[in-house]
Structure 1
Amino acid sequence: MAQAATARCRNRVNCDLALRAELIEIPQDGRCPECRQPLQTEANSSGSATDEARRKRIRLIVLSGGAVSLCLAGLLVWGLQGTDAPAPEVTGMDIASMEASNIKQLEPPAGESPPPLPPVALEPVSTAPSLETQQDIKQGMVFVSLAKQNPKTRSENIQNALVEFDNAIKKEEAQGRCFAIAYMNRGVAYWQDKKLNLAEKDLLKASECDPKSPIVFYNLASYYAAINKTDLALEPLDKALDLGFKDCDVLRKDSDLKNLRKQKDFRRVLEKHSLFCLG
């Protein structure tokens, strides 16, 4: 037997049936018996099993949709807060790997030279000889003086002088210095010992070690004049005068310059430097 259609009146303004939400069996004219408003058919609370299943399915869909929405909302919030999330703990090996990576990033690209380092300031090195070297020079000069005073021991004292000057040269060379005075005195000692090739070599070396020493160039000029190579003596003499050697008395009387004083160019070189020593 078919169940009669029922409905609830929707007129809650002036209908008691609507206010009580009573189910009304729909009359033939389809109107509320109280307020005469049209009624809309609906099943009663004891609807069919199909209707009940449909209602459950709808509720399930609604609940599922809400859960999915919550999940999506959670993912969105997590994504927005990702930059503020605490960093994971890093182990010692991980730190080493990170440091190695940073080092590689700091290396210059292939084919490019690294930027030059700033220049390093070096401490100035004194060119003055050590006290021990100065003592060797003094002792060598003592032997040279003794050689001049006593012809009998001349050769022995010259050899002793050469040893002292040689020691002075070696000590300064060990410190990376070229000691001009030691080379000059050893050259003069070789000259007195008639070892002219060695004398010339040392005198030239002295002029290289100290190209601003007037006494070094004067001794080189004296050596060339003494062995009668006056053409070679003029240039070092001119250099000595240019550096400040102005002793007219020596230029007039030095026996080593005897051959050079006979040359016209000797006077010319002196006059060039405003020295009129020959009268």
Structure 2
Amino acid sequence: MKTETKNRFLNSITLPNYEFIITAPEFKKEGEEFTIWFFEGILEKNPNYVDCLLYLGNAYTTHGMYEKGLSVDQKLSRLRPNDPLVHYNLACSYALLKNIDAAFEVLEKAIALGYKDIYHLERDKDLAYLREDVRYQKLIEKIKKR
């Protein structure tokens, strides 16, 4: 079949109808569960794929799997030792696991590396356990001075 578009003829392809059913249980997963399964699969073959690790760490945290998120964030901090956002995420993981001292130590490093998004820092629910500590306000002041 040919279609006319502004004096041009384009060949169109018609594929035969083919119906198939995927029965593997992995494909029955939905939402974050599927996302986690998918990224874990990619990382089996490419364990240092940074973008995939970033997404997986976020998916773990969103799904409440804080220990796994921490493990991913620790790996990312080794792969990208000078990335302020990676260290910020690592601080969030420590905070979610109520390891307050480690969270402040890594958050200090994130700020030293250039993290400066005060708006996000002050609203991030992951850091809720840090806000009652006097060190938190000192960090905010440090960012404001820059």
TM-score clears 0.5:
yes
Distance 1:212 1:172 in 2: 22
Distance 1:242 1:259 in 2: 21
Q: After TM superposition, give the deviation of residue 161 of structure 1 in Å.
A: 0.9
Question: After superposition, where does 1:91-110 map in structure 2 within 5 Å?
Answer: none
Q: After TM superposition, give the deviation of residue 229 of structure 1 in Å.
A: 2.1
Q: Is 2:38 aligned against 1:164? A: yes
Distance 1:172 1:208 in 2: 16
Paired residues of 2:92 and 2:126 also in contact (CA < 8 A): yes
Tell me what 2:67 maps to: 197
Q: Is 2:52 aligned against 1:182? A: yes
Question: After superposition, where does 1:1-279 map in structure 2 within 5 Å?
Answer: 156-173=30-47, 178-271=48-141, 274-276=142-144
Gaps of 5+ in 1: 1-154
Task: Report percent identity of matched pairs.
Answer: 29
Paired residues of 1:181 and 1:206 also in contact (CA < 8 A): no
Paired residues of 2:88 and 2:106 also in contact (CA < 8 A): yes
Per the alignment, in what secondary structure is the counterpart of residue 276 of structure 1? helix
**CA deviation vs aligned residue, 1:118-162 (integer Å, no higher than 9, x gap):** xxxxxxxxxxxxxxxxxxxxxxxxxxxxxxxxxxxxx82111111
Paired residues of 1:190 and 1:199 also in contact (CA < 8 A): yes
Paired residues of 1:225 and 1:260 also in contact (CA < 8 A): yes
How many pairs does the alignment contain?
117
Per the alignment, in what secondary structure is the counterpart of residue 144 of structure 2? coil
Q: After TM superposition, give the deviation of residue 237 of structure 1 in Å.
A: 0.7
Paired residues of 1:214 and 1:243 also in contact (CA < 8 A): yes
Is the alpha carbon distance of 1:235 and 1:181 closer, same or farther for their aligned partners in structure 2, counting shifts above 3 Å? farther
Per the alignment, in what secondary structure is the counterpart of residue 249 of structure 1? helix
Distance 1:163 1:268 in 2: 40
Bigger Cα Rg: 1
**CA deviation vs aligned residue, 1:24-57 (integer Å, no higher than 9, x gap):** xxxxxxxxxxxxxxxxxxxxxxxxxxxxxxxxxx
What letter corresponds to residue 223 of structure 1 in structure 2? Answer: S
Q: After TM superposition, give the deviation of residue 204 of structure 1 in Å.
A: 0.6
Q: After TM superposition, give the deviation of residue 171 of structure 1 in Å.
A: 4.3
What letter corresponds to residue 224 of structure 1 in structure 2? Answer: Y
What is the alpha-carbon root mean square deviation over aligned residues? Answer: 2.2
Per the alignment, in what secondary structure is the counterpart of residue 182 of structure 1? helix
Distance 2:109 2:117 in 1: 14
Normalised TM-score (structure 2): 0.68
What letter corresponds to residue 275 of structure 1 in structure 2? Answer: I
Normalised TM-score (structure 1): 0.38
**CA deviation vs aligned residue, 1:251-270 (integer Å, no higher than 9, x gap):** 11112112212111122234
Gaps of 5+ in 2: 1-28
